[in-house]
Structures are given as C-alpha cells and as structure tokens.
C-alpha cells in the first residue's frame, strides 16, 4: 500500500490495485499506518463471517520506509508446515475475480480454462489454487488439513493463533497496543460439515495415511454450482 506504484505492477499482485487505493484513503484520513489499517480491516472482515475467527489486533506499526522483500519460503518467516495449513483456513470460502499465476477430485475449471496457479475444481464455478491442492496432499500437511474438516472449533482457534503470529512478524509486541477488544465477536455457525450435492465420498482424494477420512453427509438436490463473482473493477475479495 505504501509502495503501490511498484508492488501492484508485479504479476503476483494482480487484482490488488483497486482495493489498495480504496483502503489507502481511509488510512490517510485517520492518520494510521498502512500496516495497522490492513491488519485491522482483515480482522474486522473475518469477524463479520458467521463461524469465523476473532483475530487479535495490535496497533502501533510504524510507517513503511522501504519496499518489502518477498519470502522465498514460509520457513524464512518462522512458520512450520502445519502452521501454513492453519493460515490456509482463510481459503475455505472465498471469491476470486482473476489470477495470473478440499480434497475433492477436480473435474472442471471455471470461466475460460485453467490458468497458471489454478487446479481443476470438483464442481462448477469453484476456484481452487494449485498450492492448496498440493498442501492438502503433501505427506507433511495432509493429516492436519483433513483434521480441520470436522473440527471447526480447532480450525478457528488455530487460525486465530497463527494469524496473530503473522500480524506480528517483524514487530515488537510490547511496543504495540492491544486493541483486540474493538474486533467484533463473530456470530455462531451450527451446520455440520458436508459434501456438496452431486458428490460422494468416492470423489474424495484422501491423502492422510494414518487417519480414516471422516464420514460426511451429502446435500440433496442438483449438482452444486458457485455463482460468478460480481465485477468489482480489478479487485479481489476473499471471505471466511
């Protein structure tokens, strides 16, 4: 956000320009650092989703003075393979307008064919990242990924934990102010995990060798279809 004239030109950041420019105005208006505003907006956004997490929010990040480097691996930032699974909980429900670069067997792709960075989806309209596909099947992460399916309380608590860690990377927590009490408490969500209509357990590509895949109910009705994302300029939107 501080260096949008540089960062939004990279292919990996395509789709971020509109939301960056919209949020920049709020940060400037209220005289807060861009880092604080991004963390605050993310925490409030997640809390507005039923069954989502209540992410801790610490304020007081200084203004950026130079463009950041990109980590070549999550380990460079101090995150284990399992913690990466916890972070990817944010991909459980999302909408994506475009991209350049779940454990259901993929059979199709949305829109006009698969793009770099995507993986075939199990039902019409779903957008799935190739990285998620691989993490769900890697021997180091498959069992933790599978464990999240039927243990939503664990999923949410682990996401809250690792998101706090992510929000404090490069920061001194004691120098920040804990403002977590301003983040809304998410409403509850009581529906049990289930498979979309038109699929069955036979479509699952289970990759955890030590634990059987959980028995899930299947929605009745025609094959589930995901509605297209409404056009919002070139911005990308994700929700819990």
**91 in a labelled binding site:** yes
For residue 42, give the 3-state DSSP assignment. Answer: helix
Q: What span, in angstroms and rounded, lies between the C-alpha atoms of 23 and 27?
A: 6
Query: What would the pLDDT profile of 19-50 be if each residue is shown by its tens digit?
Result: 898 999 999 999 999 999 999 999 998 888 88
Phi, psi of 206, rounded to the nearest 5 degrees: -70, 135
Q: Tell me, what's the pLDDT at 108?
A: 45
pLDDT in tens, 210-226: 999 999 999 999 888 77
Segment 76-95 mean pLDDT: 80
The CA–CA distances, whole Å, from 123 to 107, 190, 204, 227, 230 equal 7, 24, 13, 11, 19
Across 56-75, average pLDDT: 74
Least confident of 9-18, 81-90, 190-199: 9-18
Where does residue 170 fall: left (phi above 0), alpha (psi -120 to 50 degrees), or beta otherwise? left
CATH superfamily membership of 4-63+72-238: Peroxidase, domain 2 (1.10.420.10)
Q: Which residues contact 228 (CB under 8 A, 6 or more apart)?
A: 125
The band of 95, judged by pLDDT with boundaries at 50, 70 and 90, is low
Q: Please, what is the average pLDDT of the chain?
A: 80
Distance between CA atoms of 188 and 60, rounded to whole angstroms? 30
- Judge whether 65 is annotated as a binding position: no
CB atoms within 10 A of CB 239: 13
User: Residue 204 in contact with residue 214, Cβ under 8 Å?
Assistant: no
* Range of lowest pLDDT (6-15, 47-56, 147-156): 6-15
Per-residue confidence at 76, pLDDT binned at 50, 70, 90? confident
Domain edges within the chain? 4-63+72-238
Question: Residue 58: pLDDT above 90?
Answer: yes
Residue with tokens 């030109």: 9
Q: Is 108 helix (H, G, I), strand (E, B) or coil?
A: strand
pLDDT, mean of residues 182-205? 87
Output the pTM of the full model: 0.62
Does pLDDT of 146 surpass 80? yes
Q: What is the pLDDT of residue 178?
A: 95
Q: What is the tens place of the pLDDT at every residue in 103-130? A: 444 444 444 555 555 677 777 777 777 7
Q: What CA–CA distance (Å, rounded) separates 95 from 237? A: 6
pLDDT at 18 over 50: yes
What gap in Å lies between CA 11 and CA 21, rounded to an integer?
17
Closest to 226 in 3D by CA, of 94, 113, 91, 49: 94
């Amino acid at each position: 956000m501080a260096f949008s004239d540089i960062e939004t030109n990279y292919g990996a950041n395509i789709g971020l320009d509109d939301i960056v420019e919209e949020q920049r105005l709020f940060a400037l208006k209220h005289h807060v650092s861009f880092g604080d505003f991004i963390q605050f907006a993310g925490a409030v956004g997640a809390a507005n989703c039923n069954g989502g997490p209540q992410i801790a929010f610490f304020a007081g990040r200084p203004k950026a003075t130079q463009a950041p480097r990109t980590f070549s691996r999550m380990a460079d930032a101090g995150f284990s393979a399992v913690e990466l699974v916890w972070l990817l909980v944010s991909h459980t429900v999302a909408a994506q307008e475009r991209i350049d670069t779940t454990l259901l067997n993929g059979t199709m792709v949305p829109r006009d064919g698969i793009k770099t960075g995507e993986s075939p989806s199990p039902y019409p309209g779903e957008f799935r990242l190739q990285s998620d596909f691989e993490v769900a099947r890697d021997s180091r992460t498959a069992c933790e990924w599978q464990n999240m399916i039927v243990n939503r309380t664990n999923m949410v608590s682990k996401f809250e934990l690792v998101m706090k860690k992510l929000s404090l990377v490069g920061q001194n927590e004691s120098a920040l102010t804990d403002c977590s009490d301003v983040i809304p408490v998410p409403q509850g969500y009581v529906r049990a995990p289930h498979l979309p209509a038109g699929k069955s357990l036979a479509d699952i590509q289970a990759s955890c060798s030590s634990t059987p895949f959980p028995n899930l109910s299947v929605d009745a009705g025609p094959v589930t279809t995901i509605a297209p994302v409404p056009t919002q300029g070139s911005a990308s939107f994700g929700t819990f």
